Each structure stands twice: as C-alpha cells, then as structure tokens.
Amino acid sequence: MNRKRDILYACADQNSPKIFVFRLKKDQPAGSNRKGRNCHDASNNELESGQVEWCKGNILDGDDFLLQLSLSETENHVLGTTALGFCTPGAKRIDLKFPTGFRNISVRLLQSNSIILSKNDDFAVAGVRKNLYVWKNPTGQLVKVLDAHFGRILAIVPYTIGPWNSVITSSIDRSVKVWNLNNVFEQVHVIDRHELQIDSISLCQTTGVAVTVTRGCVGVWHILTGKLMDKLAYNALGAIVTHALITKDGRHILAAESGSILIWEWPKRRVFFRSEQPSVKQIMLMEEDTKFLTASRLGPPNEGKAVVVVRDCPSGVALYEVEIPVRTFRPAILTNDGLMLVMLGHEKNRDYLYVFQSQTGVLVHKFIPRYQGAKKDQAGQLIPVPGKATQGVLFDVRTKKHIHTIRRWSGQVTKDGRLGLYAPSRGGLELIELRSSSTVSQLISRSAEGVFTNVTSFNATDQYVLYYHSGHKTLRVFRVLDGQMLANYRLAAELTAIDTTTDGRCVVIGTLDGCLSVLAIADPTVPGSFQFLASLPSRTRQTRIPSAVSGESSDRSDQDGDSKNKNRKGESGGGSHITFKAAATVAASWAKATQMTNKSGTVQKVTSKACVIS
C-alpha cells in the first residue's frame, strides 16, 4: 500500500502469480481504516458503518510466485521477491536473476530478502547472505557483487534524500554500513580473509610467514604484506582442521586434519607424511623443531586416556608413545630445559602429575599435587616456569614438593620467571611478582565494567603487556618498564587468536570475521622504532603482491602513480614492475634482530625443572 493509503497491491489469487491493483473509490475518505469491500461485488450494494469501497484496477502479470511484495521509495515501481531473484512487475517486466547456486528463502510469513532502487531508479540493489548484488534497472543485467559483511545481511534501506545516493545495510555481525552507489563501479581493493573465524596463529619470522587455522583449511599469509598466499587442505571437501604449526625455517607445516597428522612441504604444497591419529588435542614442536608431539584424548567423557606420540620432524617417524588415564585433557608441557615432559592425569579418583623423559618417554615418577585447598578436577592448565625452586614455583617436579601458592595470578609468566599478570574478569590488570605475589604496578584500575572475557599476555621479548577486553573490543599495549599505556586499538571484530613476532615489534591477531591483522608497536623510547615503521611495505608508495590463491596480482599504488613517478628526478618511468626490495630489507633486518639480545630480553640459562598448576 502506498503512503496515501489509496492504492493497494496484492496477490489476490492463491493459485496465480498475478498482482492485482486495488484503488480506493473516489469521494471516499483515505485513512487508516482497513475495512473495505470490493466495488465489483454486487451481492451487497450497501456499505456498513466504517467500511470503504475499493475498485479492482490493473493486473500485473507475473511468471513466478512471489515470496515478498514491496514498493520503491518513490512508489513508482513494484518490487517482487522470487525464489531465483527479483522482479519489477509493470508494463515492461524486468527480471533480476541471481548467479547459479543462489536462492531466496522465506524468513517468515510473507517476508524474504528485500530489494531497493537507487536514486533516479538507475540501479536495483539487494542484500542476500553477506553480499550486495547490483543490477542495472532498465536491462536487468547483474553489474556488481560486493562482499559487504562477514555475517548475514538482516536489513537494507535506501538513503536518497537530497544529493545522497546511498544504501544502508545492517548485518548479524552487529555492524551497519553505508554504501555510496555513485562509486559502485570504482575499483575495489579486496582485503584477504577466510570464510570462517581464525582459531590459532603460528608465526615464522625467518620467512615472514604466518599460518592460521580455520575449520576448513590452513591459511598461509605473508605477514609483511597481509596477503593470503595459499590455502592448504588435504581433503578438498569436508576437511576439519583443528591444529597447525610451522617450523622455524618455514619449510614444513604440521597440521591435524580430519583424524590425521599431516606434514606439508612449503612452498611446494606437497604432503609427504600422513598418519592417522583421531581426536588430536595438541601439537607441539620440541628440541629446536627436530621433533614434534601430538596428543589425543580417547574414550568416554568421564573415563578415558590421553595418548601422546612423539615423532621425528620432518620425516614423521614415531619415536615413542605414552598413555595416561585422564578425565579432562590438559595440554602437556616441557620443562624450561626441555628434559622432562609433564602431563596432568586422573587416576583412582585423584589428580596426578606424570613426569616423563622427553627424549625416551620413560616414566620418571608420578605424584599427587598436594596443596592446601586442593579439589578434584580443579587444575586448569600446566605452566612451565623457569628458575630455581626457591623463586616462587608451585611444584618442583624433581623433588615432587609443593613450593608456593600464588593467589592472584592469571597464568602468564615472563621468560625469567619473575613477573606475572593478574587480570580478573570483573576488570583491572596488575603486573605482579610471582615470588612474593605482590603488585609491581597497576596497569588498569579495578572498575566495575561487568563480567567479560579478557586475553592477557606478554610479548615475545617481555617488554610489553597485551590486554584484550571483549566488552570494549580493544587491544591495549603497556610498557613493562614503567607501566605506561602505548596503544588502545579498536578491533573490527571479536578477537579469536593472537601472537607476537620473535623480535617483539609486531602483534598478529586473528578475528571472528576471518581477517588477519599485523600491528606494529610504535614505542618512541626504543631505538630504531621510526626507521622500522618507515621501512614497512605498507608505508611505501607502490607494491604489487602476487597471490597464490587467485593467481593474480593486486596493485596497491596511487591512481596517478605512473605519472608522478615519471616526473620525479632520478627515477625511471614505468613503475609497474614487481618489486620486493622493501619486503626483503625488512625481513633481513628482522632476522638480524632476532640473533641479537638486548638487556630487557635476555633469558638466563637455567637447569631446574619446575611446573605450575593454574
């Protein structure tokens, strides 16, 4: 019905796709009264009190049954939603068809995906799933498909007031976007991302490669350019990937996919080892990436066993296998010197700590972790803490003794075992000393912000503290030396994975929308920080990055970059050649920086074997 409420469009015949046009009879008050009678019905010529009379007018022919019927903003066009697309019934019917494989469905009774018209009725725009489809109105030709949201589009409305020619969309990803239809044919620079959320991240700074885990594949990214270079999946259809790691040299990728352990050879994209191991819960590299551990949990929920297999890397030959009874699986850990493998098991209705030799798999001993206030199934994780047993360690796995209990601690520890973090869910962040459990500095004051999930960690060099708050969706960076906040970065989507480079200069984050972001920590007190930022490929005027996924190359340059390059002194024309000079320079500087240790990142050599139950 139009705004004056004197014209009504309806599919009156249940067995026909035709659209009937009803008009209010002249000399009748047009208002909000919905009671009416067909003027062609001669059975009763007298109107009852409160009734108005409608006359059947034109009939708009239709070929397909409609799921939804609506009017354009100018009320000049009738817009219909069909199963295979949309239509504009009228004197000249225009069909707007989807690409193959897409359909409209009914969300609820008489409601489906909506379509709107742009200013001057030049384009028809519809939001289906997470994409925007743009058709040319006179011809019905599909001219553009835009990747609008990473969640399903819930509503779409036109905004054509005054000079504006825009479309507003809202999505289930809790975002609202405004699209300018005047620029619909401009070049779109697509940001690479996965279809599903990123579950974990593994970095190789030597080659500048990041490996991400999604449910359907293993993604290989270039962390300097942000390009998704490849997607790895042994089963093209139905692959379920749970874990993935990349070695320090960047030549091999370990993955757990659909009940199998795979070793990929990169960049050849070749699987040269595959072994069946169901229900993999953990993959861990050992002894300078010469071995790797895979742990599985088998059996019923309350009574089961954990099976740990240690294999050679990269051949995949099994070296030894151990089994322990468990109720709830907890990841295994290595002591700081790498000589002992510690696991948490459950036997005789009690928790046990199992200590194995990491090289041979021989059981050294097992003991019950006894401490004041201990409860069954209370341990959440095992954390290796370097240093001597007198430096605030909970358990010494050599002597099987309880040393100390830290009341306020979230499980994070520096490499020297001296500092930790306390971040309660109700708010606040403190830097604590593990030996005395005292507060070194209060980074965030305790304020009632509600109960939210937070992610806290140190960077690789223990110079900075990272704090993510799920309520604010912000990632804050603090300097450990003086507790000063350096950054407060707002994320576009919820954080699902985070890691830092070995030099501690960059933070790599994965989010719910499948995007991978690399953030550089700009600390003015660190020498060489400004030079590092200036040398990044994102700060250069021109880079062309080849994509192994699409087989194409994406130009990232100014529109008039060629003309500007020709006018510069000392530079040759062209400027469109492929160059990796900036990326190679940064990669070389990172590799050199990782071999040097500064005072704040020095790790002392320790010989004790200790672990912590959190």
**Contact predicate 537/224, CB 8 Å:** yes
User: Is there a domain that residue 350 lies in?
Assistant: no
User: Is there a domain that residue 191 lies in?
Assistant: no
Domains in the chain, number = 2
Strands 241-246, 252-257: pairing kind: antiparallel
* Length of the chain, in residues: 614
Question: Which residue range is the domain that position 493 belongs to?
Answer: 407-536+603-608
Which candidate, 347, 416, 342, 409, places its Cα nearest to that of 382?
A: 342
User: Is there a domain that residue 554 lies in?
Assistant: no
pLDDT digits (tens, 9 = 90+) for 152-197: 899 999 988 888 899 999 998 888 999 998 888 777 777 899 989 9
Amino acid symbol at 323: E
Amino acid symbol at 504: G
Average pLDDT over residues 35-61: 61
pLDDT digits (tens, 9 = 90+) for 285-295: 999 999 999 99
Measured between alpha carbons, how far is 132 from 144 in angstroms, rounded to an integer? 8
Residues 516, 99, 155, 169, CA torsion sign? positive
Average pLDDT over residues 59-70: 76
pLDDT of residue 103: 85
> Lowest-pLDDT range, 438-452, 474-488, 492-506?
438-452
Strand partners, 87: 80, 95
Strand partners, 59: 20
602 CB-near residues (< 8 Å, 6+ apart): none
Which candidate, 117, 261, 208, places its Cα nearest to that of 503?
A: 208
User: Is there a domain that residue 448 lies in?
Assistant: yes
Average pLDDT over residues 62-83: 81
> Lowest-pLDDT range, 9-23, 64-78, 389-403?
389-403
What is the CATH classification number for the domain harbouring 485? 2.130.10.10
Of residues 373 and 299, the one with the higher pLDDT is: 299
Count CB neighbours of 14 within 10 A.
6
273 CB-near residues (< 8 Å, 6+ apart): 261, 262, 263, 314, 315, 316
Q: Which of 183, 217, 237 finishes a domain?
A: 183
User: Is there a domain that residue 570 lies in?
Assistant: no
Measured between alpha carbons, how far is 185 from 524 in angstroms, rounded to an integer? 42
pLDDT of residue 581: 41
What does the mean pLDDT of the chain come to?
79
Helix H or strand E segment including 565: helix 561-567
pLDDT at 283 over 90: yes
pLDDT of residue 40: 54
Amino acid symbol at 69: L
Of residues 401 and 592, the one with the higher pLDDT is: 401
Average pLDDT over residues 590-614: 39
Q: Which of 154, 183, 212 finishes a domain?
A: 183
Burial of 385 (0-12, 13-18, 19+ CB in 10 A): buried
- Which residue is associated with the tokens 């895979």? 294
User: Is there a domain that residue 33 lies in?
Assistant: yes
pLDDT of residue 237: 82
pLDDT of residue 46: 56
User: Is there a domain that residue 476 lies in?
Assistant: yes
Q: Which SS3 state, helix, strand or coil, does residue 532 take?
A: helix
Average pLDDT over residues 451-478: 92
pTM > 0.85 = no
Average pLDDT over residues 563-587: 38
Per cent of the chain over pLDDT 90 is 35
Amino acid symbol at 372: Q
Q: Which of 183, 210, 231 finishes a domain?
A: 183
Which candidate, 336, 352, 278, places its Cα nearest to that of 309?
A: 278
Q: Where residue 515 falls among pLDDT bands split at 50, 70, 90?
A: very high
Q: Where residue 484 falls among pLDDT bands split at 50, 70, 90?
A: very high
pLDDT of residue 5: 80
> Lowest-pLDDT range, 207-221, 280-294, 383-397?
383-397
Which candidate, 257, 190, 122, places its Cα nearest to that of 515?
A: 190
Which candidate, 430, 452, 449, places its Cα nearest to that of 441?
A: 430
User: Is there a domain that residue 486 lies in?
Assistant: yes
Of residues 102 and 382, the one with the higher pLDDT is: 102
Which candidate, 90, 166, 109, 88, places its Cα nearest to that of 132?
A: 166
Which of the residue ranges 184-188, 202-206, 582-586 has the most confident prediction, judged by mean pLDDT? Answer: 202-206
Q: Where residue 410 falls among pLDDT bands split at 50, 70, 90?
A: confident
Q: Tokens for 548, please give them.
A: 């192994």
Measured between alpha carbons, how far is 562 from 575 in angstroms, rounded to an integer? 6
Q: Where residue 28 falls among pLDDT bands split at 50, 70, 90?
A: low
